[in-house]
Amino acid sequence: MKLAVQLYTLRGQVKNGQDLLEILGKVRDIGFAGVEFAGFFGLESAVLKARLDELGLEATGMHLSFDELSGARLAQSLDYAAAIGSRYIGTGGHTTRKEADVQEILRVMGEASKQAEQRGMIAYYHNHSHEFKKDAQGVKLDRIKQVCPLELDTYWSFFAKVDTPAYMRENAARIKLVHIKDGGKRFPKPCALGEGKNDLQSIITATHDIGCEWLILENDLPKPDGLSDITRSMAFLKKYATE
C-alpha cells in the first residue's frame, strides 16, 4: 500500500501553475509517493508529467467538476489523466438533497465509468457524509456504487456514524481508493491524523485487508497551513501505515 496526498489539502499554498510544480517537490520531500490532483492551474499535461517523472511521483487520481465529467469534456479529462499517467478520475460532494440530484449523479457517473473502463481507466465517486442518508430508495451511496466505483472518505463515513472498517470489507470490490482523514465526532471538523476521534488504525488495517493500492491523505481544514498539517499526518502514517 502506497501513500498519497490529495492536493486540495494544500490549496492555500497553490495559486498558480508554478506554485503547483513547486509544491510537488515539497510533497515528495515529506515522503509521499503519489498525489491526487484538485485542479491543474492551466498547466499543460506534458509539463506536469515531466515534473512528476522528475520527482518520481505518481498521479493517483484527480477530482473534477461534474461539467468536466460530462459530454465532450469527459473525453478531454480522460485524455489529460492518461497523459499524466493517472488511471483514476473522479468527483464528489454533489448534492443529494433531491431525487433529481441523485439521478444526475447516476447519469454522469454511469457514463463516465463506462467510458473510463473502455480505456482501461476508473472513474470514481468520492463520498461525503450526506450520501449515507436514506431516502425512499434506500441509502443513496448504495445506488451510486452500483454505477461506478468509490473513493471512500473515511472521515465522512465516520461522521455519518458508519462502521467504516466493516463497510470497507463489505464493499471491497467497489472501493478503489481510500481517503484517510481524522476529525471530530460531533461536529464536522477535519484535522491532522491522530488529532481527532476517528479509528484510523482499524481503517489502515481494513485498507490492507481489501488490497487497496493507495491510501490518500486529505484534510479539508489544515492548520496552521497545508504543509505543516500533512507533515504531522505523515509522522502518524510512518508509525502506523508503513509497518
Which domains occur in the chain, in start order? 2-240 (3.20.20.150)
Strand pairing category for 134-135 and 58-62: unpaired
- Structure pTM? 0.95
pLDDT value for 243: 59
Residue range 166-195: average pLDDT?
95
Sign of the CA dihedral with 2 first, then 59, 127, and 75 last:
negative
183 within 8 A of 223, measured Cβ to Cβ: no
Would the pLDDT of 162 be above 70?
yes
| pLDDT tens-digit series, residues 72-131 | 999 999 999 999 999 999 998 889 999 999 999 999 999 999 999 999 999 999 999 999
112 within 8 A of 123, measured Cβ to Cβ: yes
Question: Predicted confidence band at 226 (pLDDT cuts at 50, 70, 90)?
Answer: very high
pLDDT value for 44: 98
- For the chain, give the percent of residues with pLDDT over 90: 91
Please calculate the CA angle 99-103-105 and round it to the nearest 5 degrees: 120
pLDDT, the chain, mean: 95
What are 21's three cell numbers? 510544480
